[in-house]
Amino acid sequence: MTSFDDAGGYERLMGRWSRAAGMIFLDWAAPPRGACWLDVGCGTGVFTELVIDTCSPTEAFAIDSAAQQIDYARRKSVARRARFRVADAERLPFSDGSFDVVTSALALNFVPGLLRAIAEMRRVARSEGMVAGFVWDVAAERSATSLMRRALQDMGVEPPPHAGAEVGLECLHSLFTQVGLVKIVTRAIDATVEFADFDDFGRLK
């Protein structure tokens, strides 16, 4: 199980997924270059760095509620090009209409007040801005731990509940509609990540 307190372990395991899915997402979403960005639930800054490297933002801000993740991100070279801050997705510390692009990468599954968080993402986006994100399709067993969960089921063992199982394409489309977003488009992302062996896959320390 991934610990948000173990930032180094989180980066080794989840960072690979953020890069793999993030590259597909950015290619599909085609956000404008030279924009002002906010990355919500940035973790250790892997997706933030991908945005900077591929989208050439004029400014990049990133928030996460886990102080350990932000501390880790601030020690990386990306911190010279992005501003990292500890903050709650449900109470974003920015003025209305501050950003051209507001995104969230593999984080919305873990936000308790999801509707409030998406409403906040809309609030801080400019009127013609972009609000977007991608999540784990937990209900379809398409997450970082899906292979282990399926193996347990094959052995007759029911795996523990997974956070964010209700957050899928239909859920996000509904929530985006509820907060007043328009021109909503969804798609599935199939990303593949390779690990050297099982220890490489499961190691968090």
Run of H or E including 123 = helix 114-124
- What CATH architecture does domain 7-137+164-181 belong to? 3-Layer(aba) Sandwich (3.40)
Token readout for 63 is 């928030």
Indicate the burial class of 74 (C-beta count within 10 angstroms; 0-12, 13-18, 19 or more).
Answer: middle
- How many angstroms separate the CA atoms of 122 and 101, rounded? 10
From the CB of residue 46, how many other CB atoms can be counted at a distance below 10 Å?
Answer: 24
Tell me the domain boundaries of the chain: 7-137+164-181
pTM for the predicted model, two decimal places: 0.82
Give how far Cα 160 sits from Cα of 9, 137, 148, 188, Å.
21, 16, 11, 25
Using alpha carbons, list the distances in angstroms from residue 174 to 156, 164, 171, 181.
35, 15, 5, 10
**What are the φ/ψ torsions at residue 101 (nearest 5 degrees)?**
-135, 130
Show the tokens assigned to 157: 């063992």
Alpha carbon of 129 to those of 35, 103, 105, 120, 153: distances in Å? 9, 11, 17, 14, 43
pLDDT for position 73? 96
Q: What angle do CA 182, 184, 187 make, to 5 degrees?
A: 175
Kindly list the averaged pLDDT for each block of 10 residues, start to end, along the chain of length 205.
57 75 95 97 96 97 96 96 98 98 94 96 97 79 56 63 69 94 91 65 50
Q: What are phi and psi of 48, to 5 degrees?
A: -55, -45
